[in-house]
């Protein structure tokens, strides 16, 4: 359990390297933090698959549960949201205190936005660089919703509305007990239940998190504002057919500005966190493994 500055807490699940003791000692103290996406937790399939690959490479892996998610379900009275990069920073602080070697971090979907925002704010000086920042040598963002407003509008168009409805249903069904017991939350849900993800963020996520409305929340929490300041070698993987994150975020006149340390791997197909090849294997898992091995095992 990692305590946060506002009294809430998150949880990290540690996966030790799957190696004999002699080899493990030679691997040193390198570690990687994994951050899940919206409606996910430490037990999401992609978290388990990537953690297994990395621990077999001699790395200690920490799978994070955001506020109100997984094992942290009853440890928060505040809601998780896409802009909580400070929670990732707190998790990295904890990992850095336990390991003296190189560090890496990977975020999936919404977790990817949090990770990119953390890196950009460190690079821009918006957040002071911790002592371990020089040991953070690699980062990965998989299908990150870098422009939250654009992504939310995208899911309200045509057949993609099914994704907005899915997230809405899952989020309403999994409101943490301590959050649901708040009077302002109970009143919001009793008066008129949100009908879209945008509506939920406008009436619940934003006011509970100190934002004016959904527009304000999306704008202030989007990593696109700081991706140009990232100074850590970062692999960003996205797909042109992603039904949640439009390709215009990464290609064309409205694409985000990223620093030279961000390598964009934009593929024609892959959906949202899919990236399955002809043998029905998730090739992104292999790409993430290879990237961390190159960066942490030069």
> Residue 22: pLDDT above 60?
no
Cβ contacts of residue 208 below 8 Å, gap of 6+? 78, 79, 179, 182, 184, 185
Query: What predicted TM-score, i.e. pTM, was given to this entire model?
Result: 0.94
> Residue 55: pLDDT above 90?
yes
What is the percentage of the chain residues whose pLDDT exceeds 90? 82
Would you state the pLDDT for residue 280?
78
- The domain limits of the chain are 2-147+223-296
How confident is the model over 83-93, as a mean pLDDT? 98
pLDDT band at 26 (very low <50, low <70, confident <90, very high): very low
How confident is the model over 158-180, as a mean pLDDT? 89
pLDDT band at 20 (very low <50, low <70, confident <90, very high): low
pLDDT tens-place string over residues 171-185 = 988 888 888 888 888
How confident is the model over 139-162, as a mean pLDDT? 95
What is the percentage of the chain residues whose pLDDT exceeds 70? 96
Would you state the pLDDT for residue 182?
86
Fold of 2-147+223-296: Rossmann fold (3.40.50)
> Residue 35: pLDDT above 50?
yes
> Residue 285: pLDDT above 50?
yes
More confident residue, 158 or 228: 228
């Amino acid at each position: 359990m990692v305590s946060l500055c506002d009294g809430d807490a998150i949880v990290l699940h540690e996966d030790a390297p799957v190696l004999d003791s002699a080899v493990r000692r030679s691997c040193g103290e390198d570690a990687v933090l994994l951050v899940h996406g919206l409606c996910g937790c430490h037990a999401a399939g992609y978290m388990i698959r990537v953690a297994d690959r990395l621990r077999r490479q001699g790395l200690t892996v920490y799978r994070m549960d955001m506020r109100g998610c997984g094992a942290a379900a009853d440890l928060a009275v505040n809601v998780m949201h896409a802009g909580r990069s400070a929670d990732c920073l707190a998790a990295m602080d904890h990992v850095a205190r336990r390991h003296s070697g190189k560090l890496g971090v990977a975020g999936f979907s919404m977790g990817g936005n949090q990770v990119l925002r953390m890196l950009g704010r460190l690079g821009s000086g918006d957040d002071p660089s911790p002592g371990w920042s020089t040991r953070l040598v690699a980062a990965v963002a998989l299908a990150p919703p870098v422009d939250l407003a654009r992504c939310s509008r995208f899911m309200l168009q045509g057949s993609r509305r099914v994704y907005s409805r899915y997230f809405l249903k899952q989020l309403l069904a999994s409101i943490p007990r301590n959050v649901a017991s708040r009077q302002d939350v109970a009143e919001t849900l009793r008066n008129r239940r949100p009908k879209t993800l945008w509506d939920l963020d406008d009436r619940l996520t934003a006011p509970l998190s100190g934002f004016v409305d959904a527009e304000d929340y999306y704008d202030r929490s989007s990593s696109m504002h700081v991706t140009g300041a990232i100074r850590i070698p970062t692999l960003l993987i996205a797909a042109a057919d992603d039904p949640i994150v439009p390709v215009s975020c990464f290609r064309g006149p409205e694409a985000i500005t990223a620093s030279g340390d961000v390598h964009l791997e934009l593929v024609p197909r892959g959906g949202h966190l899919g990236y399955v090849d002809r043998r029905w294997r998730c090739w992104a898992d292999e790409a993430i493994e290879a990237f961390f091995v190159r960066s942490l095992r030069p």
